[in-house]
Amino acid sequence: MADSDFPHKAIRIFSFILIILALAIYIGWGVAYGSWNIFSAEYIPIYSIMIILILLGICGLLLTKNKPEAE
């Protein structure tokens, strides 16, 4: 029985969406509040959410990395 590739594609797409969402938050917050410094004390909560989204996206991409097929 052949393995379905659907779960890996779904996780990969969701991971890309998480990374794009994090970048959209960064750009949107920077434009709205004029804050591009991620180390500024008053803006740390929003940037910590952004960092968590990026890390979850990267972990999802690493989990779906293709393994070489054994012959």
pLDDT digits (tens, 9 = 90+) for 14-70: 999 999 999 999 899 889 988 788 788 888 888 899 999 999 999 999 988 876 665
Cβ neighbours for 17, distance < 8 A, ≥ 6 positions apart: 57
Please give the Cα distance from 25 to 10 (Å, whole number). Answer: 22
Supply the pLDDT for residue 8.
83
More confident residue, 5 or 19: 19
Please give the Cα distance from 57 to 62 (Å, whole number). Answer: 9
Supply the pLDDT for residue 21.
96
Cα of 6 vs its chain's centroid, Å: 19
- Left (φ > 0), alpha (ψ -120 to 50) or beta: where does 17 sit? alpha
